[in-house]
Structure 1
Amino acid sequence: MVPDPQAAIDFYSDLFGWAGEIGPPDTGGYAVCELKGKPVAGIMAAMNPDGTVPDPLPPAVWTTYLSTDSVEATEKAVRDAGGQVMMPGMDVMDLGRMAVLTDPQGAVFGVWEAGEFYGAGIVNEHGALIWNELSTNDTAGASEFYGRVLPMTFVPSEMEGAGGYTEFQVDGRAVGGMMSLEKAPPGTPPHWLPYFNVDDPDSITAAAERAGANVLAPPFDMVAGRMAVLADPQGAVFAVIAATEPEPPV
């Protein structure tokens, strides 16, 4: 969600090889960005639920959407568990139904109840989403909240050197992660962060910087691979990573 969707489309298309264009008025101009002809992300202008432009404009931001079988049931579970509903459930034509919520610590996320549109058509490839990560000041509270809201479980990461990192799992499969804000810069609010897979984080970081992005964390090696954290020219924060292949079982 950005003040200038066309500028964002141009930036990410150049960076990741996406294709996208401003959508029709009946979708609020929503742009579905594609890679190899399949959807990988969405870009839209900041607007209120009634279609008016907010004043002042909110900051540019990427929003993580989690799948749900029922937006209404998830909204109720969020309220019962201490979260808030920022944008109540609404139909997006026949594509699906969505809502935007916050957890008790204030991290914003969306939920999507699929109709004809199921979400990302490509993941884990260069230029596509590979991971979503929650940073919070209360990992125990967040685990309890998300476990009550959606059918997820939470287990310590088994990756060597990932002490204190928690995996979100669905049916035993890791679908996201969580870490403490303890080592983050002072004042960093709880938030979700999308990771995009790239072949070469160093060259992607250099290209993003040339295009006007800010480098929040230059490329560095960590247990899951080599990554960097960037803010696009309008301020939306995202990470890029060349993920390390897991070791084959002995």
Structure 2
Amino acid sequence: MANVVDTRGELPFISAKTRSPAHVAPRPVGTLVKRSIDLVLAAFGILLFSPLLLLCCSAMIVFSPGPVLFRHKRVGFNGQTFECLKFRTMAPDAAERLQRLLESDPAAAAEWKAARKLRTDPRVTLLGAVLRRSSLDELPQLFNVIRGDMSIVGPRPVTEDELARYASKVDAYLACRPGITGLWQVSGRSTTTYRRRVACDAFYARNWSIMLDTKIMLATLPALFEDSAY
């Protein structure tokens, strides 16, 4: 099935005439070809970005005392859980800050309930904001790719609580290794609804191809500079 670039439709890259019927079961997206490409790109990325990795580590030690890495349990391929790696971008008392905000600000509580993230997040440090805005906080996920937890391209990694929101499309998510980038990430990210995010992930699982992965990777860099990338 051909993929057609069309940013006017419900999903980017995909015109209505190329969409798979909703009843088509997702096929596994963990093929040898995709895994081989992941290993090559992740290894190359680690070598290419090693100076940035070291710079980020040094900045964390100097400007944001505490653990350099943030490890969070996520659900991956076939329902296996793994520790998703990121540079830590939040203050040590992040949980307490979030609780205070949600109790005092109904609008923030509604935003959190809808998207599980906040456009103005009091938990994020100054250095963390820079890392997030540039997406440098996700560089350690290259090691997740090497370990086989993640793919270069795939659905955004979710928690077990978030997985429940996939409802009838949960099998589509579980058919994929979560990705560092993906269809949702280049589709407006936080300006889209969670329902659209689920639709993006389901479409990706059902229509995976090397060409689709290539289009998503090529669209990732411009997406980093959009206001919606937070």
User: Which structure carries more relative contact order (alpha carbon 8 Å, separation 6+)?
Assistant: 2
- Higher percent of residues as strand: 1
TM-score normalised by the chain length of structure 2: 0.26
Please report the TM-score for the alignment, with normalisation by the length of structure 1.
0.24
Higher helix share: 2
